[in-house]
């Protein structure tokens, strides 16, 4: 099920980015005073090493186009083009969401260590969003980022929810970028747009952002124990399921990649889950047969709900409601599946060059 309405101008691209849906990336606000109180002293050495990496800024010149770029942008069949635009718009929104969150935190706190970190991450996300937006601009469909900042609805998250959600988003972002890059290394003939050539070094930024949140979690060990384990489980499932459902909503895109979305997502979830052992006291059992069946059911219900929305009318409305309720129930079932304990969280640093 491709996105129902094709985007044909900048205003429509911006509206698509501004719109809030169950699967679209969101913008966040948080409790800045609580972040101000974070003391990095217990992990000063690790903090310095990480901040030095940010200062060195290895990707300083990476987000610039080379001479071959323009010649590699080709015309795509309409359905694929529609899904590729949806992919770019949702990616630019997600990258810019990080930029807005990190800049707002930097602006609203006085803690010099936290402020420096947030400024570095905002710098990176701003480059990422800008680079994707340039590709949208080639088609005259770039998102108005100033309007997006103004008009997008903001969701309030307590700092711990920001930590869990952002840690997972950054690590899953890393795994997605590198998995796509490696796929096109094996199948260069399938690479239908030059932007994918940038994903290898790009993934290092996301990996490092994830490392920053791993440190923030380790600085607050109470967030990894007791009742907070229920929140960790919730965010693991929410982030993983959202990706699975969204990717299965873009069949033409994955066909053009020459990839099976289920295989791709299985690999991305396995990499991400392995990395999270560095902080989380357990992982989801991704190999549990009911986990796979449940994710597929969520995806089918989502597609049926979208089809019902297009059909409209009372029956469409009722069907949509039934699908949403079914998704809620399935999510709850998956939430209560047994997890795999990870007794000794350790500093797992998978090489970004994986």
Binding site for Fe ion (CB under 5 A): 95, 98, 125, 128, 170, 206, 209
Smallest gap from Cβ 262 to Fe ion, in A, equals 25
| CB of residue 179 to Fe ion, shortest distance in Å | 15
DSSP string, 56-101: H-TTTTTSS--TTHHHH-----HHHHHHHHHHHHHHHHHHHHHHHH
Query: Residue 162 Cβ, how far from Fe ion at the closest point, in Å?
Result: 13
Compare residues 122 and 298 and give the one whose CB is closer to Fe ion: 122
Helix or strand or coil: residue 339? Answer: strand
With beta carbons less than 8 A apart as the criterion, state whether 136 and 92 touch: yes
Residue identified by tokens 């929410």 is 238
Report d(CA 7, CA 78) in Å as an integer: 11
Nearer to Fe ion, 102 or 264 (CB): 102
Taking the complex as a whole, the smallest distance from the CB of residue 104 to Fe ion amounts, in Å, to 15
Q: Closer CB to Fe ion, residue 86 or residue 125?
A: 125
Rg (CA), the chain: 20
Q: Which is nearer to Fe ion, 2 or 126 (CB)?
A: 126
Is 171 or 250 the residue whose CB approaches Fe ion more closely? 171
Integer angstrom CA distances of residue 142 from 22, 42, 89: 23, 44, 8
State the SS3 of 248-314. Answer: CCCHHHHHHHCCCHHHHHHHHHHHHHHHHHHCCCEEECCCCHHHHHHHHHHHHHHHHHHHHHHHCHH
Looking at the Cβ atoms of 209 and 233, the one nearer to Fe ion is 209
For residue 332, the SS3 value is helix
Which residues have CB under 8 Å from 303's CB, separation 6+?
A: 1, 248, 249
Q: What is the C-alpha separation between 143 and 88, in angstroms, rounded?
A: 10
Smaller CB separation from Fe ion, 122 or 256: 122
C-beta closer to Fe ion: residue 83 or 170: 170
Q: 210-230: string of b/e by CB count within 10 Å (b at 16+)?
A: bbbbbbbbbbeeebbeeebee
Closest distance of CB 170 from Fe ion, Å? 5
Spatial CA neighbour of 208 closest among 269, 148, 89, 128? 128
Minimum distance from residue 110 beta carbon to Fe ion (Å): 24
Between 125 and 200, name the residue whose CB sits nearer to Fe ion.
125
DSSP 178: H
Which residues face 35 on adjacent strands? Answer: none
Q: Tell the smallest beta-carbon distance from residue 121 to Fe ion (Å).
A: 6
| Smallest distance, Fe ion to C-beta of residue 94, A | 8
Shortest spacing between CB 68 and Fe ion, in angstroms:
23
């Amino acid at each position: 099920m491709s996105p129902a309405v094709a985007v044909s101008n900048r205003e429509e691209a911006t509206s698509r980015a501004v719109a809030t849906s169950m699967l679209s990336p969101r913008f966040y606000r948080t409790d800045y005073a609580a972040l101000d109180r974070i003391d990095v002293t217990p992990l000063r050495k690790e903090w310095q090493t990480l901040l030095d990496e940010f200062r060195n800024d290895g990707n300083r010149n990476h987000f610039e186009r080379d001479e071959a770029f323009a010649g590699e942008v080709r015309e795509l069949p309409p359905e694929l083009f529609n899904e590729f635009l949806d992919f770019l718009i949702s990616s630019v929104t997600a990258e810019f969401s990080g930029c807005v969150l990190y800049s707002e935190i930097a602006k609203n706190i006085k803690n010099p260590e936290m402020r420096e970190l947030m400024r570095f991450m905002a710098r990176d996300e701003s480059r990422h969003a800008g680079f994707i937006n340039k590709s949208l601009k080639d088609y005259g469909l770039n998102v108005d980022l100033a309007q997006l900042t103004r008009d997008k609805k903001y969701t309030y998250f307590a700092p711990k929810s920001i930590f869990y959600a952002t840690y997972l988003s950054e690590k899953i972002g890393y795994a997605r970028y590198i998995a796509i890059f490696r796929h096109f290394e094996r199948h260069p003939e399938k690479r239908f747009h030059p932007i994918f050539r940038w994903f290898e070094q790009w993934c290092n930024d996301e990996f490092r952002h994830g490392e920053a949140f791993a440190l923030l979690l380790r600085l607050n060990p109470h967030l990894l124990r007791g009742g907070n384990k229920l929140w960790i489980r919730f965010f693991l499932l929410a982030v993983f399921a959202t990706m699975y459902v969204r990717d299965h909503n873009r069949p033409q895109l994955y066909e053009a990649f020459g990839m099976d979305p289920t295989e791709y997502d299985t690999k991305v979830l396995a990499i991400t889950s392995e990395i999270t052992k560095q902080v989380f006291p357990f992982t989801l059992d991704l190999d549990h047969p009911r986990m796979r069946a449940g994710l597929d059911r969520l995806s089918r219900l989502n597609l049926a709900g979208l089809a019902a929305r297009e059909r409209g009318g009372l029956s469409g409305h009722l069907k949509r409601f039934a699908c949403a309720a079914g998704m809620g129930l399935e999510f709850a079932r998956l939430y209560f599946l047994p997890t795999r304990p990870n007794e000794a969280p350790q500093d797992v640093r998978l090489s970004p060059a994986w």
